[in-house]
Amino acid sequence: MRWVYLIAAAALLVTAVWTSLVVFDPRAFSGHMGTHMTFVAVIAPLAALATSGTRWDLSRSWHPGTALLLSFVEFVVVWTWHVPAMRELAETSAAMRLLELATFLVSGSLLWLACLGANRETDAALGGAVALLLTSMHMTLLGVLLTMAPRPLYGAEEVTCLGVSLTASQDQQVGGIIMLLVGAVAYLTGGVAIVARYLSGPAVKLRGGQRG
């Protein structure tokens, strides 16, 4: 099963990088957001599941609070790359776009590994759940801000995404909606799933039995 996760993550990684560099109009914010969400909400958790419990699982030796720290790191990465000046750099330079994608992949994968890694059966799982829920919250906030902004933040020209022509405002709104529907929901689902797994785990049952 781990090989399935790894192969799926690798295939999606190659596809996402190729579409970002070759297929999508680099000015299309909606295309950028689709790639971004693929990296942090799909590829990253698949990579974490592929390495969890193996010798590549770095989270074995991590402090229980590491997930919260990594959640903050991803917050900085996500919000920094959505500053208009940084978006312009990523649009005009393939090297900067690859750097952007690399930081998304690394920060996202480390966060998901901290939450889904070897310590997910212990009390550290609760820290991971909180980290994912906090990430869902800040992605929800950013998605809402992008969708409801009174003017486009990333240029004023019409763009084309997958053959569809969009005004700058429409392009930004679609990107914000993608963040809400994919990113925020994925992290929220992950956090809730971890809590549910923890509450049904042997550690909680054992404590309940001892109190009884």
Give the whole-angstrom CA distance, residue 190 versus residue 170: 29
Tell me how far CA of residue 71 lies from CA of 25, 65, 66, 200, in angstroms: 30, 10, 9, 25
- Quickly tell me which residue has 């689902």 as its tokens: 189
Q: What is the pLDDT of residues 35-83, one digit of tens each?
A: 999 999 999 999 988 888 777 777 777 777 888 999 999 999 999 999 9
Q: What is the pLDDT of residues 8-19, one digit of tens each?
A: 999 999 999 998
| Rg (the chain; Cα; Å) | 18
pLDDT interval class at 206 (50, 70, 90): very low
% of the chain residues with pLDDT over 70? 91
Give the whole-angstrom CA distance, residue 84 versus residue 80: 9
- Quickly tell me which residue has 């957001």 as its tokens: 33
Q: Which of 155, 153, 194, 212 minimizes the C-alpha distance to 67?
A: 194
